[in-house]
Amino acid sequence: QVQLVESGGGLVQAGGSLRLSCVVSRSIVSFDAMGWYRQAPGKQRELVAVISSDRVTNYANSVKGRFTISRDNTKNTVYLQMNSLKPEDTAVYYCNARSLTVNFWGQGTQVTVSS
């Protein structure tokens, strides 16, 4: 059983920062990519950022320049550093681990950005 546990969410004012963490119960190098997704009420889940096993990254246009995804393979942990937060960033953020044949999700952590 593969478990992903997110942490670091909370309430922050616009312009503030948060750092999300995702601890995986399996070596993250066994997956093709690790990613962060988010889902706001009434909205479809969307990709926020992804990082491959060789550390190639990709970001949603809405977060480019503000968010940074990184990984620590020795800790089996993926991070999402979120700076200059905006109210529209408010959502539940989910950690994802995927390969060609598998897809695992965490339970999510709430991020709320107030005006």
Q: What is the mean pLDDT of residues 31-41?
A: 97
Please classify residue 40 by burial: count the beta carbons closer than 10 Å to its beta carbon, then call 0-12 exposed, 13-18 middle and 19+ buried.
Answer: middle
pLDDT band per the 50, 70, 90 thresholds, residue 86: very high
Cα 28 from Cα 38, distance rounded (Å): 20
pLDDT tens digits for 46-65? 999 999 999 999 999 999 99
Question: Which two structure tokens, joined as six digits, stand for 99?
Answer: 């390969």
Q: What is the pLDDT of residue 1?
A: 83
